């Protein structure tokens, strides 16, 4: 098991219980989606995993080790993080952005240069074209591809993604999402995807944790949620994707009849 979150709780000073009794697991090559409305505790959960926040209760294991027994800085260098927007350093080239963690880890320059080109290829950006380009000279989708390459740079077994595709137009989003899933299958990392978009979760996740007010109200495979929504909130979240799927099916069936 790459990631094991057990009964995680996070209370902020002042008493906000942002996360309560949250448990989920991700094995190598699996993607778990955390889905829910703004403020339900998704980002707090991610930040507890890489110790940007200290949990108030529960237990988190990454690759078999309790994260509280691991140095927080070393832990963060081992876990890939893709943020909303791209989080790139604007004054650094694509190559320098991707190289940030390998540099901190003390990799030799030649190895870093080779890794940067390999990663640009993996996220389908031509290294000769993009190596020296700054974020301001790239499209939103290209910047987020660099963000994904940076998260993968140190061969992380675990990638955390916080609304990574939210700011992109639908076609760019679909292309990048498909590529990230193919990379997950190819490289075998475990991934946690935070999204408020149930359709995105249904299309990408092995398992979905639906969150509401800090708790998980349903945890299961997309097919489980669709077959047995456990809560009216889950039912409501499924309504739009189901309606759209039905409408597309009607239209394509109609076309087949012509
Ligand atoms: N540093 C903080 N101090 C106090 N409350 C916080 C802090 N960060 C988040 N919260 C609160 O915790 C809850 C969950 O926030 P968050 O995890 O960011 O939600 P989400 O990512 O699902 O939108 C919200 O009520 C938010 O206001
Ligand atoms: Mg958030």
State yes or no: pLDDT of 255 exceeds 80. no
Query: How many Å apart are CA 217 and CA 211, to the nearest integer?
Result: 6
Mean pLDDT of 31-38: 97
User: What are 143-154's pLDDT values in tens digits?
Assistant: 999 999 999 998
Task: Work out which ligand 1 atom sits closest to the CA atom of 19.
Answer: 14
DSSP H or E run through 248: helix 232-257
Per DSSP, helices labelled H in 123-187 are 127-130, 140-152, 170-187
Tell me, using a 6 A CB cutoff, whether residue 40 lines ligand 1.
Answer: yes
Query: Is there a contact between 202 and 195 (Cβ–Cβ < 8 Å)?
Result: no
State yes or no: pLDDT of 160 exceeds 90. yes
Tell me, using a 6 A CB cutoff, whether residue 51 lines ligand 1.
Answer: no
Using alpha carbons, list the distances in angstroms from residue 78 to 95, 197, 258: 19, 28, 55
> 211 or 85: which carries more pLDDT confidence?
211
Least confident piece of the model among 3-12, 22-31, 85-94, 203-212: 85-94
If you write DSSP's letter for every residue of 189-222 in order, what string do you get? Answer: -EEEEEES-HHHHHHH-SEEEEEETTEEEEEE-H
User: What are 190-222's pLDDT values in tens digits?
Assistant: 999 999 999 999 999 999 999 999 999 999 999
pLDDT band at 256 (very low <50, low <70, confident <90, very high): low
Total structural domains within the chain: 1
pTM for the whole thing? 0.94
Q: pLDDT over 90 for what percent of the chain?
A: 91
CATH number, domain at 64?
3.40.50.300
Which domain covers residue 64, as residue numbers? 3-257
Residue given tokens 């309606």 in the structure block: 243
Ligand 1: distance of its center to the CA of 7 in Å? Answer: 18
Ligand 2: distance of its center to the CA of 125 in Å? Answer: 28
Query: How many Å apart are CA 225 and CA 48, to the nearest integer?
Result: 26
């Amino acid at each position: 098991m790459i990631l094991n979150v057990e009964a995680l709780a996070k209370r902020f000073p002042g008493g906000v219980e942002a996360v309560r009794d949250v448990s989920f697991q991700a094995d190598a090559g699996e993607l778990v989606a955390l889905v829910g409305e703004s403020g339900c505790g998704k980002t707090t959960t991610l930040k507890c995993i890489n110790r940007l926040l200290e949990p108030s209760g529960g237990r988190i294991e990454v690759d078999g080790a309790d994260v509280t027994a691991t140095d927080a800085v070393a832990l963060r260098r081992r876990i890939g993080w893709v943020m909303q927007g791209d989080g790139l350093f604007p004054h650094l080239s694509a190559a320098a952005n991707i190289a940030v963690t390998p540099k901190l880890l003390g990799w030799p320059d030649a190895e870093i240069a080779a890794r940067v080109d390999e990663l640009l290829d993996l996220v389908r950006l031509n290294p000769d074209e993009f190596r020296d380009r700054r974020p301001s000279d790239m499209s939103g989708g290209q910047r987020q591809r660099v963000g994904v390459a940076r998260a993968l740079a140190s061969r992380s077994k675990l990638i955390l993604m916080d609304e990574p595709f939210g700011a992109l137009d639908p076609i760019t989003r679909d292309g990048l999402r498909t590529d990230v899933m193919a990379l997950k299958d190819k490289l075998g990392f475990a991934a946690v995807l935070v999204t408020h978009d149930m359709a995105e979760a249904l299309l990408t996740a092995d398992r979905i944790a639906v969150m509401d007010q800090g708790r998980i109200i349903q945890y299961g495979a997309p097919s489980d949620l669709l077959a047995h929504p456990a809560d009216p909130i889950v039912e409501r979240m499924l309504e739009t994707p189901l309606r759209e799927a039905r409408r597309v099916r009607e239209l394509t069936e109609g076309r087949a009849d012509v």
